[in-house]
Amino acid sequence: MVLTLFSSIKPLHQLNSYALLYSFMPFLSCSLSLFFSAFNDKRLNFR
């Protein structure tokens, strides 16, 4: 998936690649925060 993303970014201009990266940033941070919160809840419930 990452390779196809990079291959699709390569022909584009640098500005477009940065725009794509910044558009993905919020989604990645949101999913990461959700995953870590769920992981912490599970760890707390084990105790």
Closest C-alpha among 9, 39, 11 to residue 24: 9
User: Would you say residue 39 lies in a domain?
Assistant: yes
User: Would you say residue 8 lies in a domain?
Assistant: no
User: Would you say residue 5 lies in a domain?
Assistant: no
User: Would you say residue 23 lies in a domain?
Assistant: yes
Question: Angle at Cα 27 formed by Cα 13 and Cα 39, nearest 5°?
Answer: 140
- Domains: count for the chain: 1
User: Would you say residue 1 lies in a domain?
Assistant: no
CA distances (Å), origin 8, targets 30, 43, 47: 24, 39, 46
pLDDT of residue 6: 61
What's the whole-model pTM score?
0.40
Question: Angle at Cα 19 formed by Cα 6 and Cα 9, nearest 5°?
Answer: 20
The model's pLDDT over 1-47, given as tens digits with 9 standing for 90+, comes to 566 766 665 655 666 777 777 888 888 888 889 888 888 877 776 65
User: Would you say residue 22 lies in a domain?
Assistant: yes
Residue 28 sits in which domain range?
17-47
Closest C-alpha among 34, 9, 31, 7 to residue 21: 9
